[in-house]
Chain A
């Protein structure tokens, strides 16, 4: 598969990973075999890290809590960002972890069953890490868009059903 098609395959999967291999092959004008092989290669190379659904938990009546946590750290000769990130990322409550520029170092997304659980997690698991000097927790109050998907009501197609 050439580089252009490979890129398009990744873009199409990033848009919707649930498509069948046959449909992907049709869309990209490639053979199903090639698509299958390319996906395996991309997984092996670590380009494709996983496939998940974007869930609106509120619609599912699941009152889980989510928070963004700003984390400041102090480094020393033995400890760098990767060491600290490794340590924090292992907790299943941490759903994303990024190093950012600006007023703080790490941005975390934390998910748990309740706000209490999130608070407890931050104060008992994150804050006590020796290199962490400060945490600021922002609870998510409402969600409007996630990974490209709007969380409002869907847009109705108002076009005429048949037009010239």
Chain B
């Protein structure tokens, strides 16, 4: 190091990853005062009171020590019971690991399952962390764009055309952030076929599994020959509105979960203890609140889709998570988002920051109260009338 200059010291795999495009929009939005934000990737609800109360009570009784590396046994048992809703069957003993958010779980999988030089196919548009995560793990990300014409579903052809046949793994997220797309069991069938044919490990981020509006969530791990090559990720951030408590989990064959735990035990030790107590209660007694939130999201989704349609914007019918991903009239998502923020003080995120296939679209989150959402729609309507 020369004269306190670190530029030569920062590792190449960190230096070469650009800052998230979302960051710039955050900074622009922060400059303005009365912004209505549809740019938020987390629920506007608070965690169910029962879960919060369980956290408080765990603190009152002094439960502030580490837990088992893989998470409290009680919690793993509740998780095993809960995921049976989706036809998933995992042993609390050695096939489940509790992580500090899904983010940690995904990072563990990248590092535990891929070697330098390996390639990981990343279905896009996608949550912004996957590509950098693959790079930080020393592997190579391979973007696999999905298309609006396919309702942003991942297809056999998309995987083949992107060259994913030579990849070692695939990561995707359905219900999807940022598009709101979901995939049915049949549609997952062709992805499964591709992965079996080409021997790909699948990392299925299913953190929005509880937030589907027209059909029940389907997990690829329930398809023939897929359980043994899949790690499923889920957590408490979205459905239980517990983003800040940082708790997720991964389900997979014991070898994969064991390898992830090898890293986890040295780097994280265990996921936050208070959050684990909250999660146990959330799984035991908060299903009604989750359902109420889901219904409210659905009403907002209906409102947003119908308002956008009335404006003449093709909303593409998002069926999951809490996002819509409409196409911008002239295809310039960045200008639309910037001008909308400047002229109308409504924050949305240009689709291009979510990777290939996102350009020309906007991510609008409806994790915002109905009144604010209506105001935002009124402003967008005026904006579109004036500018397009």
Contacts and interface: CB of A to CB of B under 8 A. Distances in A.
Contact of B35 (A8, A29, A161): A161
Contacts, number: 58
Nearest to B30: A161
A27 B303 contact: yes
A155 B128 CA distance: 29
Contact of A162 (B25, B177, B302): B25
Interface in B8-65: 20, 22, 25-26, 29-30, 35, 37, 39-42, 44, 46
B299 A161 contact: no
Contacts of B299: 8, 12, 27-28
A119 to B, nearest CB: 37
B307 interface: yes
B35 A164 contact: no
Nearest to A163: B41
Interface residues on A, range: 10 to 19
Interface in A3-55: 8, 12, 16, 19, 23, 26-29
A161 B306 contact: no
Contacts of B303: 23, 26-27
Interface residues of B, number: 29
A143 interface: no
Given A8-B295, A12-B299, A159-B44, A164 B307 contact: no
Given A28-B302, A29-B306, A161 B29 contact: yes
B374 interface: yes
B254 to A, nearest CB: 31
A159 B300 contact: no
A160 interface: yes
A157 interface: yes
B127 interface: yes
Contacts of A164: 20, 22, 41, 127-129, 177
Contact of A26 (B29, B295, B302): B302
A26 B306 contact: yes
Contacts of B46: 155
Interface string B142-158: 00000000000000000
Given A27-B299, A164-B20, A164-B129, A159 B40 contact: yes
A161 B40 contact: yes
Nearest to B29: A161
A10 to B, nearest CB: 13
B40 to A, nearest CB: 5
B349 interface: yes
B376 interface: no
Interface in B284-328: 295, 299-300, 302-303, 306-307
Given A23-B303, A27-B302, A29-B302, A162 B295 contact: no
B102 interface: no
Contacts of B41: 163-164
Contacts of B181: none
Q: Quick one: which of B25, B46, B300, B302 has the most chain A CB within 10 A?
A: B302
A157 B129 CA distance: 24
B306 A163 contact: no
B315 to A, nearest CB: 12
A162 B374 contact: no
B22 A163 contact: yes
Contacts of B22: 162-164
Nearest to A158: B244
Q: Quick one: which of A23, A28, A161, A162 has the most chain B CB within 10 A?
A: A162
B70 to A, nearest CB: 27
Contacts of B374: 23
A160 B35 CA distance: 11
Contact of B347 (A26, A29, A161): A161
Given A29-B306, A159-B37, A162-B40, 11 more contacts: A8-B299, A23-B303, A26-B302, A27-B303, A27-B370, A161-B35, A161-B37, A163-B26, A163-B40, A163-B41, A164-B20
Q: Which 7 A-B pairs have the closest CB atoms?
A: A162-B39, A27-B299, A162-B26, A26-B306, A161-B29, A161-B37, A26-B303
19 contacts: A16-B370, A26-B303, A27-B302, A28-B299, A28-B302, A29-B302, A160-B26, A161-B26, A161-B29, A161-B30, A161-B35, A161-B37, A161-B39, A161-B40, A162-B25, A162-B39, A162-B40, A163-B22, A164-B127
Interface of A: 8, 12, 16, 19, 23, 26-29, 155, 157, 159-164
